[in-house]
Chain A
């Protein structure tokens, strides 16, 4: 592997990421899958980086999953997106910060469609006006939330309490990065580092002291593919895709998997538990699973946030092996405690590699 070659690709795909004043649009599924991640992102931006980030409770799903499942027509999703932009315009913001990779792809696809087909834009302006009376401006800057964390990764490092370093060996932790398909595969220029060798998560891992693992199935689908999991009879494809990735990364002994998509961490996390139940196989060290993190959770750990405050007890594959390697000070007794410290019960299904 020649790093110089990768650096050239990264140089070719640098995008403009706004510096401040973001209009944040949340993901409809991340709040269920990893409920603390978005809140952690807002906390990092507001309290650590002193940025202005605003969200409007009236914003809705982008309807991307329905669109990709052929149940939401293109005109409908364009109008839904136009409404989000109208909320942004009304609030006086011009920089869109998107939590979800599917939505990020949708926003880019629609903005590019409007550039190529201005008549379509006028049609959608008409639809929105008739339906809601609203008007909108197209954002000046569209960034995925991981782009923003990437942009400020060195600022986060300055405030770091922990690094991605094994406290026992002093060696960098080996991290697998997995990028959501709709981040840059549709529009390579919209992603930091392009489509084939994205730099967005690599940059965070390296800045925070870790070592990135490139393994043969790095680009392979995580198993989230809409048609694989929305159709129940296809879910075998979903788990077999995830399994293919685990088998491929296992020889490199990764300490964690880092993702920037709603679906990827969900499936890479949950399917490890399922594979253990089905085959008795785990992919981490010492019979444990490989912890799967969102980039907000990773940033939060680096900044010293309490993993349980970030909702990391919601992971099916236990995160403790990573916390221990990083030397994070956490209380295992409070894993299933509420905010007041009262234990609310242990889940019936025990996480991967927990026994």
Chain B
């Protein structure tokens, strides 16, 4: 029986582990946190159909509980050394493992919105990120906790830390557009009297049912989409926010007061992926995400033979794209193990 070590116990890691266990391999998942599931643990509902995250997590957990693979929680990989046809892996807690193949599934980190200083995140009381909002939308939390009364206006800013030369992130984070549409609808459902505005550069509705949801946001929920990025946000005496932008379709500057400003933060490769790149000696793109052997047929293959890549450590991805990418990683690993 061949042994595969998977670094990362998010959705990509779990899905890859399930598939490889089904294929008859011995699998160990190394997860730095105490809980499996990664970023999914902080999300409430998924686009485009508002599926509760709990439902996805339950299915994943049920599936993984039935599989016989090992999970090392609160464990980090310290080094990965190739010796002949094996990988010698040292993990925290003086744990040594030997693997026939390694899968990196370290995921992403959210862009730190404090870097866009002009929006005042962590300085102004009513500026939050899409991740903060998602957390507030969880059943056990209350979105009203950040608002005094029923808000008159709420604004979303798209592409915070994505497609932004100043932030050093030239790439598109892919999922923020539809996340913004989904969250705007969720807030409109809770505050039907509130005017909601989305400030965007382009709206990239690339996925199944995305465009339909965007249309519904406009037609059914009367959410206003304004093509233009915010130049700055400032706090007023009553803690509401004054925002400035350019409406690039009308060609006019715009100033507006809002009660809540939501920053749709993009994805970055993050420290976990950077650390895996170093310990496994795999190449990174300029963006920091891990480099795949090609963009078409080898999107799970790294520059190191026997080390494979799964999920959003390679590029920003939605939950469904991540699951598909993880399955293709498992196929790639299985084929390689059989051939070697």
Residues on A facing B (Cβ under 8 Å): 1-2, 4-6, 8-9, 194-197, 214-219, 251-252
Known: A216-B242, A218-B234, A219-B232. A1 touches B118 (CB 8 A): no
Residue ID in chain B nearest A244 by CB atoms: B255
Out of A4, A195, A214, A251, name the residue touching B235 (CB < 8 Å): A214
Interface residue count on the B side (C-beta < 8 Å): 15
A-B residue pairs in contact (CB < 8 Å), sample of 24: A1-B125, A2-B122, A2-B123, A2-B124, A4-B122, A5-B121, A5-B123, A6-B123, A8-B114, A8-B122, A9-B114, A9-B117, A194-B117, A196-B117, A196-B118, A196-B120, A215-B234, A216-B234, A216-B235, A216-B236, A216-B242, A217-B234, A251-B237, A252-B237
**Interface positions of B from 232 to 265, Cβ below 8 Å from A:** 232, 234-237, 242
Report yes or no: A1 in contact with B235, Cβ–Cβ below 8 A: yes
Report yes or no: A195 in contact with B117, Cβ–Cβ below 8 A: yes
Q: Which chain B positions have C-beta within 8 A of A216?
A: 234-236, 242
Q: Which chain B positions have C-beta within 8 A of A196?
A: 117-118, 120, 232
Out of B114, B124, B232, name the residue touching A1 (CB < 8 Å): B124
Report yes or no: B242 in contact with A5, Cβ–Cβ below 8 A: no
Given A5-B123, A217-B242, 10 other A-B residues pairs in contact with their CB atoms under 8 A: A1-B123, A2-B122, A2-B125, A5-B114, A5-B122, A9-B114, A214-B234, A214-B235, A216-B235, A216-B242
Q: Which chain B positions have C-beta within 8 A of A197?
A: 117, 123
Assembly CA distance A252 to B118 (angstroms):
22
Residue ID in chain A nearest B116 by CB atoms: A196
7 closest cross-chain pairs (CB), A and B = A5-B123, A196-B117, A5-B122, A216-B234, A216-B242, A196-B118, A216-B236
Q: Which chain B positions have C-beta within 8 A of A219?
A: 232, 234
Q: Which chain B positions have C-beta within 8 A of A251?
A: 237
- Least distance between B160 CB and chain A CB atoms (Å): 14
Assembly CA distance A9 to B120 (angstroms):
10
Looking at A8, A195, A216, A219, which has the most chain B CB atoms within 10 Å of its CB?
A: A216
Assembly CA distance A277 to B200 (angstroms):
43
Residue ID in chain A nearest B166 by CB atoms: A188
Residue ID in chain B nearest A9 by CB atoms: B117
Assembly CA distance A1 to B237 (angstroms):
10
Q: Which chain B positions have C-beta within 8 A of A9?
A: 114, 117, 123
Residue ID in chain A nearest B233 by CB atoms: A216
- Least distance between A144 CB and chain B CB atoms (Å): 20
- Least distance between B259 CB and chain A CB atoms (Å): 14
Residue ID in chain A nearest B123 by CB atoms: A5
Residue ID in chain B nearest A2 by CB atoms: B123
- Least distance between B243 CB and chain A CB atoms (Å): 10
Assembly CA distance A196 to B166 (angstroms):
14
Q: Which chain B positions have C-beta within 8 A of A8?
A: 114, 122
Contact with A along B199-238 (1 / 0, CB 8 A): 0000000000000000000000000000000001011110
- Least distance between A177 CB and chain B CB atoms (Å): 14
Q: Which chain A positions have C-beta within 8 A of B123?
A: 1-2, 5-6, 9, 197
Contact with A along B102-144 (1 / 0, CB 8 A): 0000000000001001101111110000000000000000000
Assembly CA distance A103 to B124 (angstroms):
33
Assembly CA distance A252 to B234 (angstroms):
14
